[in-house]
Structures are given as C-alpha cells and as structure tokens.
Amino acid sequence: MTTRRKFVTLSRFIMMVVSSSALISGQSLIAQPAPRHDAAPFLIADRSGEIRLARSAAPPSISDSATVLVLERAGYVEAARGSNGFTCVVIRALAGNLEDPDLWSPRVTAPHCFNAPAARTVMPMLLKQTEWLLSGESAIEVAAKVKRAYASRELLPPAVGAMAYMLSPEQVLTASGIRGMPHLMFFYDKSQPASVWGANAAGSPVQHDSTGDAHAPFLTLFLPVGQWSTGVQARGK
C-alpha cells in the first residue's frame, strides 16, 4: 500500500471521528447496527497502560506534562493533571460517525493529544458522544443531542489555533486494524475552503477528506509526518 493510500485510509477514519456528519445532516441512521451499551469491551483494564497509550500520541516533551483522560463505564475522567495545556486521550470508535457499521468496534484505539484550544472546543464533542452512547441513548437520540448542543453553543466551533497530535505507533484506526500514518490535525471553522491551505493540491502534504465533510461542523486538515512519537521512522501499516 502506498503512503498516499495509507494516509487516505487514515484521514477517512479521522474525518469520521471529527465530523459525525450524520449528526448534522439528519441522514438516516438505519444502517447502524443495533446499539449495545456495555462499556466493558472498550475499557482498558490497566489504567496505567491507558495513560501511557494516551501520552504516546505526542512526543514526551509535550505529553509528559499533559493532562490525561481515561475511559470508565460512565465516560471519561481525569487520570493525571497536566501543566502545559495539552490533553491526551484515547478516542474510541464511539466518537465516530453514527452511521458507521464499526461504531461499536472495541478494536479502535486512537490516541490524541489536543492542544488547549482544541481541548476546549473540539474534544468535548468526541467525549460527549461517547458518554451519551454508553449511557444507553440510541444513535438517533445522540444525533439530536449533538445538533442541539451546537445550536445552543454548548458545543463550540474550533478556537483559533486548535490542533492535535496523532503520532502513536500503537494507534489502531479501523476495526480491521489499520494503523495509518502519524500526522497532525488542524481544526478550523468553515469560513474558508480547504483550498486556501493548498489541501490536496499535487505535491502538497496538506490533506483534506471532502467525502465526509459536507455537513461537518468544522474543517479538519491533516499533515502527515515522517516519524512516530518515539522518534522511529514511520512506515505505516
């Protein structure tokens, strides 16, 4: 698989996570499998292991001083208080597009390390959707709640400078086990098109997946990088 194809696969998954387009568009959720609300398959028994995995999203110079959240049965809780404004967390498939058949796949473990602007404005949607699903609400109910939360500004568009690291060599981004490539994510409101950044232009490293973005609440750009947070050269998988 070429690097370009690896990254396209990765970007489609992440776009699924951050856009939740079915939430905004009101598209049918019939394709989604019957909801299951057992949190157990998504929990990592070793809390220290989940903290380590979350921190692996960014280089130690950043993640060692970051706040860390871990998933418990009712949702995410703070496991370590940081000092540099970053928040590291392992995102599950539950934060993804509510129409996706892999929504309930426990295999997806995607460590993110959000900077302070993203932790305030991007991360909350991912965490709330996960928590609402685990509480027993259906995909349709969660879709309505997210839509109302954006309308009431309980959930906010990305703050200026919002970004996240996804450099973990242990990340699993799909139910089939694809790891993808290490990359940075940058979040913007939709006042300007992705082309302003040269996204997807020939030879440009800036990537944007428009296939799932038509109804997304914000624009997400991806920048692949050459190595994992450990410093090891990236080969993808």
pLDDT tens-place values along the chain, 237 residues long: 444 444 444 544 554 454 444 444 444 554 454 445 789 999 999 999 999 999 999 999 999 999 999 999 999 999 999 999 999 999 999 998 888 888 999 999 999 999 999 999 999 999 999 999 999 999 999 989 999 999 999 999 999 999 999 999 999 999 999 999 999 999 999 899 999 999 999 999 999 987 655 556 789 999 999 999 999 999 855
Query: What is the predicted pLDDT for the residue at 21?
Result: 41
Query: What is the predicted pLDDT for the residue at 8?
Result: 46
Residue 47 CA to its chain's centroid (Å) = 20
Q: What is the pTM of this model?
A: 0.87
Query: What is the predicted pLDDT for the residue at 213?
Result: 57
Question: Where along the chain do its domains lie?
Answer: 3-27+35-224
Count of helices and strands (H, E) across the chain = 7, 7
Query: What is the predicted pLDDT for the residue at 96?
Result: 86
- Residues in Cβ contact with 169 at an 8 Å cutoff, skipping those fewer than 6 apart: 56, 179, 182, 228, 229, 230, 232
The per-residue DSSP string of 198-228 comes to TTT-TT-S-B--GGG-TT-SSEEEEEE-SB-
Query: Minimal CA–CA distance to 181: which of 227, 219, 220?
Result: 227
Query: What is the predicted pLDDT for the residue at 211?
Result: 60
Query: What is the predicted pLDDT for the residue at 209?
Result: 80
Give the C-alpha distances (Å, rounded to integers) separating 186 from 88, 138, 227.
Answer: 16, 30, 18
